[in-house]
Chains A and B, each alone.
Chain A
């Protein structure tokens, strides 16, 4: 059994079996990462291109390292957003990169649907590293991997996701993934960033954080994008932290052993208090490590689809 598609464009497009396969494969690679020699020859001779239309350090680095651990050659292409409008079309850029012989194109873009567009137009395997406000599937997969490591099962867990759900591709991918594996999901945040109609996704919606956190197994915090302030989504970061910031006191509403997660980069004192971020319940740095294993698994499995 392998994956069904040559691309990973979103969690929406996967089923539970696909997700479980990726997570299982990732545990194997996690073992590799603990070895003295952390590199395997699995994909030697293949080429990975990181095509990033948005600035990113952690995701790009993670993909780069994952690809290198699998022995693929890696090229990083950064395209500034300004040249998107004026310069070469997306299709031409992608075709050019494919003509150079890329086997994997890892793409991040500020417009939703770009990974789908490339997947449709290219023979190479396309991996979505974040498209607009749509999805960031490998982040959700590494979050699930981290949860599995700690809790061994996802089914029936109560997971609270807190913050700017509306604009968060991380939240979207996590909602789909958690639901597919049988978890219950609650969304918490100001009504401007968590519109009530999101209930139609099969989740609960809370504006009161204390209520929303009650007896949660997992608390996933999201990065607040500062530019949302002043565009009417919330009045100030001070007020935001007061209502939706994760403090030790608030965390006490969740289950005793609740895990605290954050995709990074964090705004300490805006969405999360420093002592919680660095506290015993935080698995934030483990998420980063697991990201490598999960991304190795994704590249490895996609290579298998193409044979």
Chain B
């Protein structure tokens, strides 16, 4: 038995936000005992009946926040094929450090996760080496080539919880229609990386004055928006389950808002901390660690994404954790691969939304855990009795400095190195193991 005592327990799935204790037994949540009145620091715990028979670990979480383990449905673990960038082991260790206890990994590995044997490999590897739960996302099309549907139902049986050709968008509208139709029988979403490859061709940053001044080819916001519009139309046509990946522009937020208002299809959307934390200015000086796809945008886009998070247009915050080797990020900006190593800064950057009044703390946790787990149907992100004991204790007050060099992820590629954040996990319970940090 583990008892996490006296923390501020937040669990949106049960509407809990108050000081109390979380009791864990045999790897499952046994119960959350709330204080009747958060003011009284005393012994008044609801239904207190402590049997002191088994050995008990008591963790004092006074002044801390106790939440369900976070769920990140957009992660690149790089294994198989790119183990020099990241492995299932290092990626999940980084996740746990960031308070994330479930990750969904994108299929753009080598080989691509477009068949059940690759899915099985990932699950087997995660079972033996993973520090947290790993749920593979299968490719929509074979080889992510956009030409033929991959064996979705066999991959679903093997454990895939969603389908995506992330990074290689399905440009053929008919193929996307088929994917949304076919996946309906499986009850899992198609996750769309929205990018019109003709409009974005050769682009390496946001299009605008800054791209001209740096002499870098720009990607207009419309390269994302025309595909968001297309996919919304196809979701309304097929009634398929559509999830829009990494929303980066004000126009996309507006398209999603009006689609949700129409309510004609099951559409959800995510964004990443970098899209509400930094503008394209971060690319200045040819900083390859700020090169990401879709690219960092402008101030008005950041404002629109915050308003989309606030009003529920954007359901989920994910990392799009995309680790790369230092050698690849060092050199010509045009040739550097896109991506930010995000698992270890996600909660810290997102806590800023609470300071700014964009989200309440329970609202934030909902977007980083419960909503994500619901979209892919994996059942995490909750402290309900009987659920897996994935629990995180955050220090809401203590400030810390981001040190990319100290990341557990192999990818040290972040534009947030040196930033001062707060809300760092001091403890993560994942897969029955307690990880504690000072």
Bitwise interface map of B from 14 to 29 toward A, beta carbon under 8 Å scored 1, else 0: 0000000000000000
Q: Is the CB of B334 within 8 A of A201?
A: no
How far is B330's CA from A200's CA once the two chains are assembled, in angstroms?
31
Q: Is the CB of B331 within 8 A of A89?
A: yes
Bitwise interface map of A from 79 to 113 toward B, beta carbon under 8 Å scored 1, else 0: 00000110001110000000000000000011111
Residue from A85, A110, A112, A201 within 8 A of B209 (CB atoms): A201
Q: Is the CB of A89 within 8 A of B330?
A: yes
Query: Which residue of A is nearest B332, CB measured?
Result: A111
Q: Is the CB of B333 within 8 A of A111?
A: yes
Q: Is A217 at the interface (CB under 8 A from chain B)?
A: no
Q: Give the residues in chain A near B286, CB-CB below 8 Å.
A: 112-113, 116-117
Q: Is A306 at the interface (CB under 8 A from chain B)?
A: no
- B residues 288-340 with Cβ under 8 Å of A? 327, 330-335
Q: Is A172 at the interface (CB under 8 A from chain B)?
A: yes
Q: Is B212 at the interface (CB under 8 A from chain A)?
A: yes
- B residues 331-351 with Cβ under 8 Å of A? 331-335
Q: Is A198 at the interface (CB under 8 A from chain B)?
A: yes
How far is B216's CA from A197's CA once the two chains are assembled, in angstroms?
15
Query: Which residue of B is nearest A109, CB measured?
Result: B332
For the complex formed, measure the closest distance between the CB of A193 and the CB atoms of chain B, giving whole angstroms. Answer: 12
Q: Is B432 at the interface (CB under 8 A from chain A)?
A: no
How far is B209's CA from A89's CA once the two chains are assembled, in angstroms?
30
Q: Is A134 at the interface (CB under 8 A from chain B)?
A: yes
Q: Is B213 at the interface (CB under 8 A from chain A)?
A: yes
Q: Is the CB of B212 within 8 A of A166?
A: yes
Query: Which residue of A is nearest B331, CB measured?
Result: A90
Question: How many chain B residues touch the partner (CB < 8 A)?
Answer: 17
Q: Is the CB of B335 within 8 A of A112?
A: no
For the complex formed, measure the closest distance between the CB of B282 and the CB atoms of chain A, giving whole angstroms. Answer: 14
Q: Give the residues in chain B near A195, CB-CB below 8 Å.
A: 212
Q: Give the residues in chain A near B333, CB-CB below 8 Å.
A: 111-113
Chain A: number of interface residues, binned into ranges: 20 to 34
Q: Give the residues in chain B near A114, CB-CB below 8 Å.
A: 332
Q: Is the CB of A198 within 8 A of B331?
A: no
Q: Give the residues in chain B near A113, CB-CB below 8 Å.
A: 214-216, 286, 332-333
How far is B68's CA from A150's CA once the two chains are assembled, in angstroms?
74
How far is B331's CA from A114's CA once the two chains are assembled, in angstroms?
7
Query: Which residue of A is nearest B327, CB measured?
Result: A89
Asked if A133 meets B327 with Cβ closer than 8 Å, knowing A90-B332, A109-B332, the reply is no
How far is B332's CA from A114's CA once the two chains are assembled, in angstroms?
6
Query: Which residue of B is nearest A89, CB measured?
Result: B331
Q: Is the CB of B335 within 8 A of A111?
A: yes
Q: Is B285 at the interface (CB under 8 A from chain A)?
A: yes
Q: Give the residues in chain B near A85, CB-CB below 8 Å.
A: 335
Q: Is A271 at the interface (CB under 8 A from chain B)?
A: no
For the complex formed, measure the closest distance between the CB of B281 and the CB atoms of chain A, giving whole angstroms. Answer: 15
Query: Which residue of A is nearest B333, CB measured?
Result: A113
Q: Give the residues in chain A near B332, CB-CB below 8 Å.
A: 84, 90, 109, 111, 113-114, 117
How far is B216's CA from A134's CA once the two chains are assembled, in angstroms?
7
Q: Is the CB of A135 within 8 A of B215?
A: yes
What are 21 inter-chain pairs, A to B, with CB distance below 8 A?
A: A89-B330, A89-B331, A90-B332, A91-B330, A110-B334, A111-B333, A112-B216, A112-B286, A112-B334, A113-B214, A113-B216, A116-B285, A131-B215, A132-B334, A133-B217, A134-B216, A135-B215, A169-B215, A198-B212, A200-B209, A201-B209
11 new A-B contacts at CB < 8 Å, known A111-B334, A172-B213, A201-B209: A84-B332, A84-B335, A89-B330, A112-B215, A113-B286, A113-B332, A114-B332, A132-B215, A198-B212, A200-B209, A201-B212
| Chain B residues proximal to chain A, CB less than 8 Å | 208-209, 212-217, 285-286, 327, 330-335
